[in-house]
Amino acid sequence: MNRLEGKVAIVTGAAGVLGLAGVRAMAAEGARVVMMDLSPTVHQRAKELAEDGYDITPYVGDVSVENDIAGVVALAKETYGRLDVLWNNAGLVSAEWILQDTDVVRISRDYLMRTLEVNTGSVLLGSKYAIPVMAESGGGSIINTSSVQAAGGDLALVAYGTSKAAINYLTKSVATSFGHLGIRSNALAPGLIPPPAPATGSGGPHRLEDVAPTKLVLDSQMLNAVGQPTDVANAVVFLASDESKFLTGQLIYVDGGVTGHLPTLSDRRRLASA
């Protein structure tokens, strides 16, 4: 407990599954958190966390709009007087959006550019406005949400994977340029973290197998388990805390071991069990 006592954090995409888990985990360790999300539901999520005794401030904004990013950083400084942690977590991840992300022949340039604008541009803007305020506070930790999708080529998700690969470079660039100011920059690459099941009759593509084929992923994982939002949240707390004070410029896979083996793993497993 209290690993983040006295620290002020901003979390983007804070009303979503991963963001909310991370906010709760950081707040439970003593952080004061500004929750940013495009959805007004961020106010309700912040209210629920405040009722649990956490110091939370909500902010509705679009991470692809520079004024909104500048506004959330200004809010953190005005409300709490400092900024120590920024988790750039927001991204275009709805099933409706992801299911349009196929290959370079079928996606449009506009689709690619919008994906980059939100997923990658928000990391650039967040870092741009957070770094000066963090420097005033004596340093800080920037955490970016990447993905295992950037680890290699695939048959689909070309825009998403490209945007996450660019985040990996931005992470190292920020670490290199601003480490002398005490600012650390690291990225987390989650593996399969299934979304909660939607309400019956909600409409639209929402089956997990439509977005992430669970069995195929598990066949390629070292660990025989599906990841949970708390697995990512725990890694965020570590990177936000002083326990990771000598760690920067790194990409950390929170993926159950999907990316750490030869590509023949699933075939060898099948042969061994035959």
Domains and CATH numbers, the chain: 8-273 (3.40.50.720)
Is pLDDT above 70 for 21? yes
* pLDDT at 8 (0 to 100): 98
Torsion sign (Cα): 161, 64, 123, 46: negative
Q: What's the mean pLDDT in 235-243? A: 98
Do residues 122 and 89 lie in contact, with contact meaning Cβ atoms separated by under 8 Å?
no
Mean pLDDT, all residues of the chain = 92
Q: What is the mean pLDDT of residues 215-220?
A: 81
CA atoms within 13 A on the CB side of 272: 7
| Spatial CA neighbour of 120 closest among 145, 148, 149 | 145
Query: Residue 147 — very low, low, confident or very high, per pLDDT cuts 50/70/90?
Result: very high
Q: How confident is the model at residue 211 (pLDDT cuts 50, 70, 90)?
A: very low
Query: Which stretches of 6-77 are assigned E, i.e. beta strand?
Result: 8-12, 32-37, 56-60
List pLDDT tens digits, range 76-115: 999 999 999 999 999 999 989 999 999 999 999 999 999 9
Question: How many C-beta atoms surround the C-beta of residue 202 within 10 A?
Answer: 8
Question: By percentage, how much of the chain surpasses pLDDT 70?
Answer: 93
169 noted as active-site residue: no
The predicted model scores a pTM of: 0.92
pLDDT tier for residue 196 given thresholds of 50, 70 and 90: low
Rounded to a whole number of angstroms, the distance between the first and last alpha carbons of the chain is 48
Give the closest residue to 162 by CA, choosing from 124, 119, 191, 125: 119
State the catalytic residue, choosing from 59, 80, 160, 253. Answer: 160
